[in-house]
């Protein structure tokens, strides 16, 4: 259980279902390797990105429909508070979210809307506000990843929306919060033909959501097939969408706003599941099952990498949830040096990919792995891996990892700097370190994966929460 501190002055930011509405103040995790394998079965965390997009589409549906997302363990979504400020009856509880559809025209918020650095929240808010007939302002109490807001704003401006972010003289192409949205100049947004950048989930999703407020078709041409999650979600919610090869067409003007059903389950977050699978891979002889993982399309890159690396992996499919193929993933741990991972087999795998790359080369001097990552993520992965004694470097194409040359990982104190994905990745690597490790500044883990510590403990990991 995460410890809490009362009277911290941040009660209003917490979800209503948090006990006593007091702030969670976890700062440090201490991970002690036990030498024992991890064993057991745990659920994947609900996918907050899918939840945010689904809530926006549901809120735009025909007025008066009551909708529910069933998702126990879903982290707090800044979107829910923003929807309430815009006149949508929306509530998040410990079991998921409930809202009453408000149609395509919302009411003006009395204050700026805080996206809190949540990319899916910013994507949904800006896409809808671009088509409203009132002024709005979106701020962010957390920093967004580089280029994200620029990717979101680009297709909206192409529709005729008037959005302006804070100017950065050093990086004029960047868009930074706060973003001011002027009233839509027309009753509906313009049709759009758009080609997003490769792997640009935010831009593509903003184009699709805003297409529900347009008076003509939205045609998207993808240069790289991928990120099909948004379109599968739109299909599941009854939005008229068709595809042919790299082309995707949304006929928003034909959508009547009728939802196929009133209640939906959420698929498991593949990124959170990747960290649990990586924990099993790190500790030799572990046998771990992660249940209910979204394992479709580009979401399963790390699974493909594990298969290619000859890991003992089983994927058991068992149905579809919100358009996503769901599977239970079982992995037997092989430890460092037990995988055969080649170059460029982990595109965009992030922190969990860095763990697998370290696993692949840990016991074989002279070998290396490469991951295609953006510069910021690659630099962060270098700091993560070097702290544990893994030889790594950031190069023009991404992350280069040469491994530990057979040595155990170095026990040390890692500063996560409020980056939840790296705090969790460091906790996983620490399971196979030479001694106890401390992971500092882990407060924001609860924003991404509230049950992360509990899940690892359930598998047998020894983790202490220090305040």
Same-domain check for residues 89 and 238? yes
Residue that finishes a domain, picked among 234, 265, 296? 265
Are residue 323 and residue 383 in the same domain, yes or no? yes
pLDDT value for 361: 54
d(CA 3, CA 201): 35
pLDDT of residue 389: 86
What's the domain count of the chain? Answer: 2
Range of the domain at 400: 4-46+268-466
Which residues in the chain land under pLDDT 70?
A: 1-26, 224-227, 296-311, 334-369, 372, 374, 397, 403-406
User: Domain end: 213, 238, 265, which one?
Assistant: 265
Spatial separation of the C-alpha atoms in residues 197 and 188, rounded to whole Å: 25
| Phi-psi category of residue 405: left, alpha or beta, with phi > 0 → left and psi -120 to 50 → alpha | left
> Can you give the pLDDT at residue 270?
84
Distance CA 179, CA 176 (A): 7
Q: What's the pLDDT score for residue 365? A: 52
Residue 23 pLDDT: 43
| Last-in-domain residue among 209, 242, 265 | 265
Residue 237: C-alpha distances to residues 53, 261, 285, 322 (Å):
11, 8, 42, 8
CB atoms within 10 A of CB 303: 21
CATH number for the domain that contains residue 187:
3.65.10.10
Are residues 190 and 316 part of one domain?
no
pLDDT tens figures, 336-370? 655 555 544 454 555 666 666 666 555 455 566 67
Q: What is the pLDDT of residue 360?
A: 56
Tell me: the pLDDT tens digits for 34-91?
Answer: 989 999 999 999 999 999 999 999 999 999 999 999 999 999 999 999 999 999 999 9
The verdict on 131 and 155 lying in the same domain is: yes
- 387 and 409 fall within a common domain: yes
Quote the pLDDT of residue 174. Answer: 83
Residues 153 and 254 in one domain: yes
The span from the CA of 16 to the CA of 37, in Å, is: 38
Give the CA radius of gyration of the chain: 22
pLDDT digits (tens, 9 = 90+) for 83-111: 999 999 999 999 999 999 999 989 999 99
The reported pLDDT for the residue numbered 19 is 35
- Bridge-based pairing state of the strands 287-294 and 39-43: parallel
| Residue 85 and residue 12 share a domain | no
Q: Do both 135 and 237 map to the same domain?
A: yes
Task: Verify that 310 and 442 share a domain, yes or no.
Answer: yes
């Amino acid at each position: 259980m995460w410890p809490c501190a009362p009277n911290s002055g941040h009660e209003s930011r917490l979800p209503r279902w948090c006990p006593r509405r007091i702030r969670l103040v976890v700062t440090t995790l201490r991970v002690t390797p036990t030498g024992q394998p991890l064993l057991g079965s745990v659920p994947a965390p609900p996918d907050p990105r899918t939840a945010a997009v689904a809530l926006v589409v549901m809120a735009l549906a025909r007025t008066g429909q009551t909708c529910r997302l069933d998702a126990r363990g879903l982290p707090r979504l800044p979107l829910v508070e923003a929807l309430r400020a815009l006149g949508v009856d929306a509530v998040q509880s410990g079991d998921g979210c409930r809202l009453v559809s408000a149609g395509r025209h919302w009411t003006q918020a009395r204050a700026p809307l805080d996206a809190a650095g949540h990319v899916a929240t910013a994507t949904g808010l800006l896409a809808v506000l671009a088509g409203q007939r009132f002024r709005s302002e979106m701020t962010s109490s957390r920093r967004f990843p580089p280029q994200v807001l620029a990717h979101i704003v680009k297709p909206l401006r192409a529709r005729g929306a008037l959005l302006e972010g804070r100017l950065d003289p050093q990086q004029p192409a960047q868009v930074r919060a706060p973003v001011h949205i002027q009233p839509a100049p027309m009753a509906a947004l313009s049709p759009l033909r758009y080609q997003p950048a490769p792997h640009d989930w935010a831009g593509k999703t903003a184009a699709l959501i805003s297409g529900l407020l347009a008076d003509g078709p939205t045609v998207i041409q993808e240069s790289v097939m991928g990120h099909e999650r948004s379109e599968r979600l739109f299909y599941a919610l009854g939005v008229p969408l068709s595809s042919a090869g790299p082309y995707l067409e949304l006929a928003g003007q034909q959508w009547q706003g009728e939802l196929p059903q009133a209640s939906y389950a959420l698929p498991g977050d593949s990124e959170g599941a990747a960290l649990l699978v990586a924990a099993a891979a790190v500790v030799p002889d572990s046998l771990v099952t992660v249940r209910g993982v979204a394992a479709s399309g580009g979401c399963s890159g790390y699974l493909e990498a594990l298969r290619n690396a000859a890991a003992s992996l089983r994927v058991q499919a068992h149905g579809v949830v919100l358009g996503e193929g769901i599977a239970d993933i079982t992995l037997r741990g092989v430890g460092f040096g037990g995988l055969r991972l080649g170059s460029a087999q982990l595109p965009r795998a992030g922190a969990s990919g860095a763990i697998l790359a370290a696993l692949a080369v840990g016991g074989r001097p002279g070998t290396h792995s490469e991951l295609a990552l953006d510069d910021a993520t690659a630099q962060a992965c270098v700091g993560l891996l070097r702290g544990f004694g893994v030889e790594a470097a950031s190069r023009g194409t991404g992350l280069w990892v040469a491994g530990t040359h057979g040595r155990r990982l170095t026990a040390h104190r890692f500063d996560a700097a409020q980056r939840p994905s790296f705090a969790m990745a460091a906790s996983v690597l620490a399971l196979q370190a030479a001694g106890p490790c401390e992971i500092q500044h882990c407060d924001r883990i609860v924003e991404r994966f509230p049950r992360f510590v509990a899940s690892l403990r359930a598998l047998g990991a020894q983790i202490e929460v220090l305040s």
